[in-house]
Structure 1
Amino acid sequence: MSVRRTLKQALAALTSPGWSHVHTDPEQLHRVLAEQTTAANRAAADHATGAAQLNVDELHVQPGLLEVRRSVLADVHYLEGLLIGARHRGLDAGLIERLTAAVDTGHELTVLLADAARTTITAQGTS
């Protein structure tokens, strides 16, 4: 699967709450953030159930780790673009600081996910 979003994913993102609108009202932005969290929490129950059924050994965990890492890498590169643009335009220092932290954390997450994926092979070899 390509790192690029599929057309279906791109269209879904454009119609998702918070994606296609700029919010200037703090309450409205708060609602969008809350909706995103609620939707993710609903999906989490399904993910947990599926993972409990499918991940019977270390190698079964590996494809999920690789998929999440691919997705995080794409998101981190997108965040880097936002950061570069914010710096170039001389936007608010607080925004730049938080974007920098998000990019750094994203890179750390990709390293942790790669390490976890490598562990699936090592753990399998020692079982």
Structure 2
Amino acid sequence: MKPPPEVTVPLTRRSLMDAAAACFGWRRAYETTMQVDALLTEQSETAYRQAPDHAALATEKNTTTLAVQPGVLDVRGRILADVLYLEGVLAGARAHDLAPELTQRLEDVVDHGHELTVLLADAVRATVTAHTIGG
């Protein structure tokens, strides 16, 4: 069933609508590139707006090699969970013969995600190695 056409709503109000829908486990699909680009821009702006806070907190908190470890482990766990979710999305795309470009992009994302989890695991191991050596 196709969702009803979206009414043009200001981005901030649409974000509130999306947040309310998410409380019920609902997700909305966007049908135009313009809508997707607006959402991607909003996500990026929000992340970059919060980045200075993350940097300041991390600088204050991560004063030893072992202090870095829990945060990196948390990020790896979240990314791994998301990559495994995306593997399911990829399996569904393949099973339903969705657009080849979409399938290829999902394959690239899943591969890159797994590579990222390997790099993060290496970073976690480096915290122990550096601590053992005396860093």
TM (normalized to structure 2)? 0.80
Pick aligned residue for 1:110 from 114, 117, 129: 117
What residue is the counterpart of 1:5 in the other structure? none
Q: Does 1:125 align with 2:132?
A: yes
- Residue 57 (structure 2) aligned to one of 50, 55, 58: 50
Unpaired runs of 5+ residues, structure 1, are 1-10
| 4+ aligned runs moved over 6 Å, structure 1 | none
Equivalent-residue separation in structure 2 for 1:28 and 1:103 (angstroms): 24
Correspondence for 1:36 among 43, 60, 83: 43
* Secondary structure in structure 1 of the residue aligned to 2:75: helix
Matched, 1:83 2:90: yes
Q: Distance in 2 between matches of 1:27 and 1:112?
A: 34
Q: Whole-Å Cα distance in 1 between the matches of residues 88 and 121 of structure 2?
A: 23
Match of 1:23 in 2: 30
SS in 1 for 2:130: helix
Q: TM-score, normalised by structure 1?
A: 0.85
Match of 1:73 among 69, 80, 96: 80
C-alpha distance in 2, partners of 1:107/1:32?
Answer: 25
Cα distance, 1:28 vs structure 2: 1.1
**Cα shift readout 1:61-88 (whole Å, capped 9, x = no counterpart):** 0000000000001000110000000000
Residue 13 (structure 1) shift: 9.0
Displacement of 1:15 in angstroms is 3.9
